[in-house]
Structures are given as C-alpha cells and as structure tokens.
Structure 1
Amino acid sequence: MRDAYAHALLSSFAGSGLFPELPRARGTKPLNRGARTITEIHRLLLEAAAPYTDQIRCSDPRTALDTVARAVLGACFHNSVRPDPAAGETARRRYAAELSDMAIAYLLTPDRHRTAHT
C-alpha cells in the first residue's frame, strides 16, 4: 500500500502522452492541462497523508509532505522523459518501491541540526 502513490504516478506518466510532451509544448493548452493535473495530484497526496502527519518526524510535516510530493512527481516526470525509463511492470514496481522508501525515510527522519552556514 505504501508504494501506491509512486506506482500510480509512474504508471500514469508511462501511459500518458501529455507529460513527456510538456517540455516541448509550444502552446499553453498542454502546459495548463499538465499544471492542473500535477496540482491536483499534489493536493490528493497531501489530503491522503493528512491522517498520518503525527508520524512525520520533521518539524514541519506539511512542508515535508510538500517536499515529498514534489520529489516523487519530479522523479516520475524525469523517468518519463529519459531515454532509458523504468519500463514494464517489474521495473516500475521496483522504482516505485525505491521512491517510497526514500520518501518514508525522509519523513521519519528528524530535522538535521542547522549550522550557521545554512
């Protein structure tokens, strides 16, 4: 279940002609449609994760979830445009599990101590 978000995103990016076309889009229609889709996906993740924010060890759970959503969306987009994407069910499942593991590790790690240089 924990891999569901990343797996669903990877599958939708793989099956969609929209996302790979975004960087090459000249008109605003594909960009607007893509931006609305990404915004809605982002909102759905934050909504689905809301009941679990008490388990997040970062000092600002909402910001941490926002970071995770952006990172997973970015990874899925990146996978869809690279010449050697994780393709096929097995590769997508493995990549989704890896993305999920990274996201969970981040969310369960307390904030690092800040130094004077940050």
Structure 2
Amino acid sequence: MSHDTAALSKRSPPKILLFTIVTLGLYWLYYVHSLNTSFKQYLDAGYNPLVRTLMFLVPFVNLYAAWQVGQTATEVTDDLSTGLTAIGVLVPILGAFVIQPPINDLVDGE
C-alpha cells in the first residue's frame, strides 16, 4: 500500500520546542493536532483528529490519547516505539526531538 508523504510536514525540532515555550504550550497542542491530521491523511485512517487532540485536555484521558498518537506514529514511521512516542507527546522537550526527525526522514525520502 503506497502512502502519500505530501500529507506529512517537515518541521524543525528546535523550532517546535521554541514555539512551545514562547506560547506556553499552546503551540504543542497545535503540533499534536497537526500530527493527528497528517497521520490520518497518510494512513487514510478513520479517526477524528480533533477529538484525539481534545482528549489531551482531559486528565487521565490524555494518557490514552498519547498512546494512540504513539501507535499511529509507529505505523507511519516504522521507526518509533509506541511507548517512547507516547511519552514524547506528553513531554514536549523530548517529543520534538523523538517524533519529528523520523517524519522528516520520510518526507525527505530516506
């Protein structure tokens, strides 16, 4: 099954972290939403990206949402572990440097 890498966006991990700090975390929520949206398009999945993103605002439910993003990221990249990605989604300082580089590699065709 061929996937369209045009659905994925190349981003700079240091910029993701910087924007997250400057916006007091709001950019991270946007970033997670854009990940959910691009993963849905890439995999032609049946979930709602907005619902997955809003789940991050509910205590304890956000752990499940992070796990879902981790599983999806693993499907997209074949290079990430679900647990590490889930932790990365919850901890932006780690996530920017764990999640985005394999996506950048996919976009670059590596």
TM-score (norm 2): 0.34
TM-score (norm 1): 0.32
Structure showing greater Rg: 1
